[in-house]
Chain A
Amino acid sequence: MINAEAFHAALSLLGNTPAAWLVVPPGLIIGLFFGSIPGLSISIAMAVFLPATMYMDFLPAILFLTAIFTGGGFGGAIPAIMLNIPGTSSSVATAFDGYPMARRGEHAQALGIGLVASVLGTLVGYLLLLFTVQSISQWVLRLGPTEMLVVAIWGVTLIAVLNDASISKGIAAGILGILISTIGYSDAGQMRGTFGSMYLLDGIPVIPALIGFFAASELFNLVGKRYIVDDSSLRVVRFRHILDGMGQATSKPFQLLRGGSMGALIGAIPGVGASIANLAAYATAKQRSKNPESFGKGNPSGLIAAESANSSSEGGSMITLLALGLPGGAGTAVLLGAFALHNVTGGPRFIRENPDIVYALIIGNMAQAVLLLVVGIGFIFLAGYIVKLSLKLMIPIVMVLSVVGSYAITGNMVGPITVVATGIIGWLMRRYGFPVAATVVGLLVGGMAEGELVRSMQISGGNLGFVADRPITLVLLALLLLSVLPRVIGSLLKRRRATS
C-alpha cells in the first residue's frame, strides 16, 4: 500500500519545485495539438520535445513529458470523434461511437464525454498506480510469451467477432491486418512480401496504414457530401452541449471505473498498452450493455469505455516503467529515454531508493489530469468548429495533412504510398461490409503475436502440453472463449433460423 512518509516527502518536493508546475500547461497543450493532428502522434511529440528536457531537473522533465502524454491521450480523441480519424492508435475505439455521434450533430456532447472520461480515466490509472506500484511489479514478471500471445490473439478476436459484420468477415479482416504486419524483415532475418524493395524492409508503417484504413477510406466515401453533419441546425458548437456531454459521462461512474480499471491493468502489460486497452474496454462495455446493437451507432457508453481505458492505461504503463524499467509502448519508451538522459534507471531498486520521487510523479500526474479538464474545455471549443467546415474544403485539407504527416513519420514516400494503398483497400472493405477496425487491430498486434508465438514455440519445444503448466495462460484462454463464444453461438443460431 502507500508509504506515508514518502507520500509526505513527495508533497513537499512538489511544493518546493515550482518548475514542475510551470511545465505542465505547455506540455498539455503540445500533447493536445499533436494528438489532434492526424499523422502526428504522442510519441512524435514526446520525442521532438525530449531534448528540451535536457536542462530541466528530473522531476519537471518527466512531468513535462507526461503532460504531453496526458494531453495527447485526449487530443487523439478529437479527430476520432470529429473526422473518424483516430489521431493515435489508442483512439481507435473512440471513433466507433464518437464519430456516429458527431454525424448526428452531437459532436460537442461527444467531446465533453471524451474529456471527462479521459480526465477520470487518467485519475483512476494513477490512483491504482499509487496503491499498487509496490506489489504489481512482482505480478507483471509472471507474464511470459504464452500469456502475451493469448493477450494479442484476444485483442484481434474480440474486435473481429464483436462487430456488426459477419464473423467470417471480421476474421478475414483481422487476418488481413496480421498478414500486413508481417511484411518486411522478420525477427529471424527473412524478407517477406517486400517485392525486393528496400523501402519495405522495415515493414508497412503502422500510423500511415492506420490513417489510410480509417481516414482516407472514409474521406473517399464523403466526396460529394456537403457537411459532416447534414442538418445545419445541428452544426452549432455550444458550451452548454459540452457541459451536457460532461454531465452524461459523470452520470455513469461505474462505466468510467470499469473502463479505467481495465485500461490500467492492460496498460501495465509491456507491449500491449493503450492500443489494446481501449478495444478491450469497448468490447466489454458492448457485451455488458442491454443494447449491444446500439454500439457503433453513437452510444455514449462505448465512448466512455474507450476513452477512460486509453487514458488510464497511461498510469498502467507507468507501473512497468517505474517498477521494471520496461516501456509499455512508444510513449513510455521516450520516457525511458528521458530517464537515461538524467542518469536514472527505472526498476525495483529505483522504487525502493526514491519512493518520494515515485510518489511525486504519481501525484503530479493526477494534478495534470485535473488541469487537462480546464485546458481541454478551451481546446475542444476550438476543435468543435470542425463540423462547421464545408466537406468540400475539409476533405482536401485533411488528405494533404495526412499525406504530409505520413511522410514526416517515415521520412520517405513509403508513408504517403501506404496511405493511398490502405485507403483504397479500406474503401473496398467498407463497400463490401468488412470491418476495417479488425484489420487495424491485426496490424497493431500482429508483430507482437508473431514474436510471442515464436518464443512460445522455442520455450515449449512445440509441445502444446506446456500450456497446461501455465495457469495464467489457461485463465486468459478461458476468458477469451467466454467473451467470444456467446456471439459465435448466437450467429450460428441466427443463420440456422434463416435457412430453415
Chain B
Amino acid sequence: MATSIRRQRFPLGSVLFSLSLAAVFGYYAHGVHAAARGVTDWLLIVPAAGIGITALLVIVGTKVIDWYHQRDAAAEKDSSALPALLFMGLLALYVALIPVIGFDLGSLLFLCLALYLQGERRWWVITGFGLVVSATIVLLFIELLGVRLPTLLL
C-alpha cells in the first residue's frame, strides 16, 4: 500500500511579512539617522531598529531552516483570509469617504454593506439596522458628548 508524504508548503507569507517589517525598520532608521543633527536624535531609534532587524532575520532564518528540514509542527494555517480582507477593504473605504459624505451617511452605508457582506439579505433588516445604529451613535457623540463630527444629513 502506497503511503503519501505531504511536504509542508514554504512559509511565504510569514517570510515576506518579516522581511517587509525589517525593510521598514531599516528605511525608518536610515531616514532618521540621515536627517539627525546630533546623536540624541537617533539614540533610541537606530539601535532599536538594529535589534528588530536582527530578530526578524532570525525569524526568517528559523522558518526557512524548519521548512527545509520539514520540522515545523505548527506550519502556517491555511484559513481563508477572504472575509477578513473584504471587511478591511470596506472599513478603509468607509474611513476614506468620511471627509466627503460625513459620519452619518458614511456610517449608514458602512453598516448596511457590512451586514450584507456577512450574509444578511433581508433589505428591511439591513436598512433598519443601518439607520438606527448610525443615527444613535452619531447623535450620541454630537449631542451628549459634544464632539464636532462632520456630517452630511444630521
Contact = CB atoms under 8 A, between A and B. Distances in A.
A232 interface: no
B13 to A, nearest CB: 6
Contacts of A176: 21, 25, 52
Nearest to B73: A498
A453 B43 contact: yes
B152 interface: no
Nearest to A220: B84
A432 B56 contact: no
Interface residues of B, number: 63
Contact of A431 (B81, B110, B115, B138): B81
B140 to A, nearest CB: 9
Which has the most chain B C-beta neighbours within 10 Å: A188, A191, A396, A450?
A396
A107 interface: no
Interface residues of A, number: 57
Contacts of B49: 175, 179
A413 B95 CA distance: 8
A221 B17 CA distance: 18
A168 interface: yes
Nearest to B39: A457
Contact of B114 (A169, A178, A399): A399
B44 interface: yes
Contacts of A404: 103, 107, 137-138, 141, 147, 149
A377 interface: no
Contacts of A419: 95
- Provide the main secondary structure of the chain B interface: helix
B110 to A, nearest CB: 7
Interface in A370-403: 392-393, 395-397, 399-401, 403
User: Main SS of chain A's interface residues?
Assistant: helix
Contacts of A413: 95, 98-99
A449 B44 contact: yes
Contacts of B71: 498
B13 A432 contact: yes
A392 B21 CA distance: 33
Interface string A161-198: 00000101101100110110010001010111100000
A403 B95 contact: yes
B52 A400 contact: no
Nearest to A397: B133
A172 B59 contact: yes
Contacts of A401: 137
Contacts of B32: 182, 190, 192-193
A9 interface: no
Contacts of B21: 172, 176
Interface of A: 48, 166, 168-169, 171-172, 175-176, 178-179, 182, 186, 188, 190-193, 216, 219-221, 223-224, 392-393, 395-397, 399-401, 403-405, 407-408, 411, 413, 416-417, 419-420, 423-424, 427-428, 431-433, 446, 449-450, 453-454, 457-458, 498
7 contacts: A171-B52, A190-B32, A192-B45, A193-B28, A220-B87, A454-B40, A457-B39
